[in-house]
Chains A and B, each alone.
Chain A
């Protein structure tokens, strides 16, 4: 019997846009290539799912309407997600789910969508659409991706960003911070999807999960030549 890792995928029906599903594919394949079994547990609105067994939590972006649909359900799961985050569970949340993992989202019409405050970030809708290729310097090396959002996200004092934008917008149309990171929870605006072209970040999430579950301290290296070539091409594209 080989060892098993559980990925909780938050709201795949509502919050899965611009290829975010590729992040789950990347996590799964990179675990399977190293001999682990992977179970992906979808978490849909209104469906009772016990999150306590989750080794990795993932949530993607969606349309505004999708965010409205999941809002209350995510709040109801807030306490268990905060507990998982506090215990060091690796999580990756993109765009719309990143916004709701912060304190909340104020739409351009002025309505409030409360978040679950796992990350110290607050988002306000704007008329500026931040679209294009993004390059970020981060503790996980250079990250490449594609952003597409109009939410302006401000971090609380002391909240660490994921990294610093060297091309593109990131959290706001004016600053240089991109994403947010607290313990092992990472929020980011990067689609692309982010993990396949940034295998170091994918492996950070994977190693954290394997360490917590099985005490693994080192990952078997993968070839990653295809990954790096695609990332190099993406990094050279105009914003």
Chain B
């Protein structure tokens, strides 16, 4: 089947899907291409002169992908990337199709794809990425993937099918252990954090995801924990230990709700970074992007410049003004992520205003049990004003009830946001914490009321 034919058919499908208003037509072209010409994505990707980068891991894929895109664009690349939420194989294929001319020509110089953990092995064999970034592995939507060890093994299979340069989080034991899947040791690069500021709050940890040695199953000994199971560790039984990072945050001079200031060491070179996205988890995203950029030959000074400037544009998507109040929209999807968001934005405020929007559709994860794995008791101040909404808003109300926090439940997203805005004093700030589909619905509604740009393309 000629390439132009497959492209014409799939592009037409994307267009009609968009006309029909069926969710932007993200997956459909990929789905059709899989039937018509299963090798299409690989053939298109092979036309990208500077190759393909893939970003995977439980938390931070979207943010890190956006950071890397900005860094690459600043260095002169034309970046082809998949849109938020289309990180399964057909989403990657769709992105390639929509960027291709009918001749199969691509204007982009490099491909950058956020890839779902379980899908990585399905795309690496075909797309032959040149670089793979693995951010972290936490429990997330297990109803889809099974267990954390299984997810790690799936990523490992994806890695083993390539000769890509690997950028692994040295501070996540399970991620660091993925180096064993690399076909050659010289392909492996690590990034990590040396130390957080001494005043970093001590968040009580609940069930740790992965504090067992991935090699021999002994309990790891941690000399430092930054969040979840992320920190400095070694196995008391075998020789598994945190590898020495190639790219490292050596010092964090400040970290608060406005972001963090830190020093990153690449080889012998130290660069100061002012990074306007709050939270330790976001600092790791910036570090992962820096590590990848170094692997692509981009100088740290240029990376620091991009990190300090382009993030503001991204941050606007999440921060908006409505009725004279500032609202933060912060996606939550698993216990470690929600713990980090509460710790960064809610726990240090007096009388914070918070709206939880919890749903249980496929894209949210159908099991809402994980709400009980978050230490709400320690993270939500007793004087907080809390509302809940979403299909499983009642579950959130119940979780809060057992944490000693009374929350009002509101049936409708629009009414809930309006109510939140009314509760916040003029000039004040509120936080909306939605799961994935709730976030899409709330964004859509807010986009009609504010100047916020929709991310939906």
Complex Cα spacing A17 to B217, Å: 18
- Is B136 interfacial (CB 8 A cutoff)? no
Query: CB-defined interface of A176-213 with B at 8 Å, one 1/0 digit per residue?
Result: 00000000000000011100110000000000000000
Contact with B along A86-107 (1 / 0, CB 8 A): 0000000000000000000000
Q: Are A13 and B369 in contact (CB under 8 A)?
A: no
Give me 10 A-to-B residue pairs in the complex whose CB atoms sit less than 8 angstroms apart, sorted by A's number: A21-B373, A22-B372, A25-B372, A68-B217, A129-B146, A146-B367, A146-B368, A229-B398, A233-B395, A237-B360
Asked whether any CB of chain A lies closer than 8 Å to the CB of B269, the reply is no
Known contacts A17-B207, A65-B149, A233-B392; decide if A226 and B401 are in contact (CB<8 Å): yes
Interface residue B366 (Cβ < 8 Å from any Cβ of A):
yes
Q: Which B residues are CB-close (under 8 A) to A232?
A: 394
Question: Is A69 close to B, CB under 8 A?
Answer: yes
> Which residues in chain A, 27-47, are within 8 Å of chain B measured between CB atoms?
29
Q: Are A19 and B373 in contact (CB under 8 A)?
A: yes
Does B308 belong to the interface (CB within 8 Å)? no
Cβ-based interface call for A12 (8 A): yes
Given contacts A19-B369, A19-B373, A230-B397, contact A65 B212 (CB under 8 A): yes
Q: From residue B152, how far is it (CB to closest CB) to chain A in Å?
A: 11
- Provide the residues of chain A in CB contact with B370, threshold 8 Å: 18-19
Contact (Cβ within 8 A) A193 B217: no
Name, among B366, B372, B401, the residue most crowded by chain A CB atoms within 10 Å (CB to CB). Answer: B372
- Give the interface size class of chain B: 20 to 34
Q: In the assembly, what is the distance between CA of A12 and CA of B401, in Å?
A: 23
Contacts A17-B207, A19-B372, A191-B369; is A63 near B148 (CB within 8 Å)? yes
Contact B217 A132 (CB under 8 A): no
Report whether B367 and A64 are in contact in the complex, using a CB–CB cutoff of 8 Å.
Answer: no
The answer to the question of B211 belonging to the interface, with a C-beta cut-off of 8 Å to chain A, is yes
Task: Specify which of B142, B212, B395, B398 is in contact with A148 (CB 8 Å cutoff).
Answer: B142
* B residues 16-66 touching A (CB-CB < 8 Å): none
For residue A116, CB closer than 8 A to chain B, the reply is no
Chain A positions 41-90 with a Cβ under 8 Å from a chain B Cβ: 63-65, 68-69
B contact set with A: CB distance below 8 Å: 139, 142-143, 146-149, 206-208, 211-212, 217, 219, 360, 366-373, 391-392, 394-395, 397-399, 401-402, 409
Contact of B207 among A21, A25, A29, A237 (CB under 8 A): A21
CB distance from A46 to the nearest CB of B (A): 10
Interface presence of A162 (CB below 8 A): no
In chain A, residues 201-239, which have Cβ atoms closer than 8 Å to a Cβ of chain B?
A: 226-227, 229-230, 232-234, 237
Name B208's closest neighbour in chain A (CB-CB): A13
- Nearest B residue to A18 via CB reads B369
Interface pair B398/A16, CB less than 8 Å apart: no
Structural contact, A193 and B372, CB atoms closer than 8 A: yes
Contacts of A69 in B (CB 8 A): 212, 217
Tell me which residues across on chain B come within 8 A of A192, comparing CB atoms: 369
Given contacts A16-B373, A191-B369, 12 further A-B contacts (CB under 8 A): A21-B206, A29-B402, A65-B149, A69-B212, A129-B146, A132-B143, A146-B143, A196-B372, A196-B399, A197-B398, A226-B394, A229-B398
Q: Check if A229 sits within 8 Å of B394, measured CB to CB.
A: yes
Q: Which residues of the partner chain A approach B208 to less than 8 Å between Cβ atoms?
A: 13
Q: Which residues of A contact B (CB under 8 A)?
A: 12-13, 16-22, 25-26, 29, 63-65, 68-69, 129, 131-133, 146, 148, 191-193, 196-197, 226-227, 229-230, 232-234, 237
Q: How many Å lie between the Cα of A22 and that of B206 in the bound state?
A: 11
**In the bound complex, how far is the Cα of B395 from the Cα of A191, in angstroms?**
13
Residue with the highest number of chain B CB atoms closer than 10 Å, among A68, A226, A227: A226
Docked complex Cα distance between A210 and B399 (Å): 25
Q: Across the interface, which residues of B come within 8 angstroms of A25, CB to CB?
A: 372, 402
Measured between beta carbons, the chain A residues less than 8 angstroms from B366 are 131-133, 146, 237
Task: Check if A233 sits within 8 Å of B394, measured CB to CB.
Answer: yes
| Shortest beta-carbon distance from B129 to chain A in Å | 29
Q: How far is the CA of A12 from the CA of B372 in the complex (A)?
A: 14
A115 to chain B, nearest CB (A): 20
B residues in contact with A230, CB < 8 Å: 394-395, 397-398
Given known A65-B217, A69-B217, contact A13–B207 (CB-CB < 8 A) = yes
> A155 to chain B: closest CB distance in Å?
25
Output the least CB separation between A19 and chain B (Å).
Answer: 3
- Which residues of A have CB within 8 Å of B207? 12-13, 16-17, 21
Complex: how many Å from CA A28 to CA B190? 43
Pair A148/B367 contact, Cβ less than 8 Å: yes
Contact B369 A226 (CB under 8 A): no
Knowing A17-B207, A63-B148, A69-B212, the reply to whether A146 touches B369 (Cβ < 8 A) is yes
Q: A132-B366, A146-B369 are in contact. Are A64 and B395 (CB under 8 A)?
A: no
When distances are taken between beta carbons in the complex, the residues of chain A under 8 Å from B371 are: 19
Inter-subunit contact A63/B401 (CB<8 Å): no
Q: Which residues of A contact B142 (CB under 8 A)?
A: 17-18, 148
Q: How far is the CA of A20 from the CA of B360 in the complex (A)?
A: 18
Chain A residues lying within 8 Å of B397, measured Cβ to Cβ, are: 226, 229-230
B401: chain A residues at CB < 8 Å are: 226
Q: How far is A87 from B372 in the complex, measured between Cα atoms in Å?
A: 31
| Residues of the B chain whose Cβ atoms lie less than 8 Å from the Cβ of A148 | 142-143, 367
CB closest residue in chain B, given A22: B372
Contact present for B212 and A193 (CB under 8 Å)? no
- Separation in Å of the A159 CB from the closest CB of chain B? 27
A64 / chain B contacts, CB cutoff of 8 Å: 147, 149
Smallest distance from the beta carbon of A94 to chain B beta carbons, Å? Answer: 11
Whether A226 contacts B372 by the Cβ 8 Å rule is no
Q: How far is the CA of A143 from the CA of B208 in the complex (A)?
A: 28
Which B residues lie within 8 Å of A20 (CB)? 369, 372
User: Whose C-beta in chain A lies nearest to the C-beta of B403?
Assistant: A25
Q: Pick from B148, B211, B217: contact of A13, CB below 8 A.
A: B211
Measured in the bound complex, the distance between the Cα atoms of B139 and A30 in whole Å is: 28
CB-defined contacts of A12 to chain B, threshold 8 Å: 207
B395-A234 in contact (CB<8A):
yes
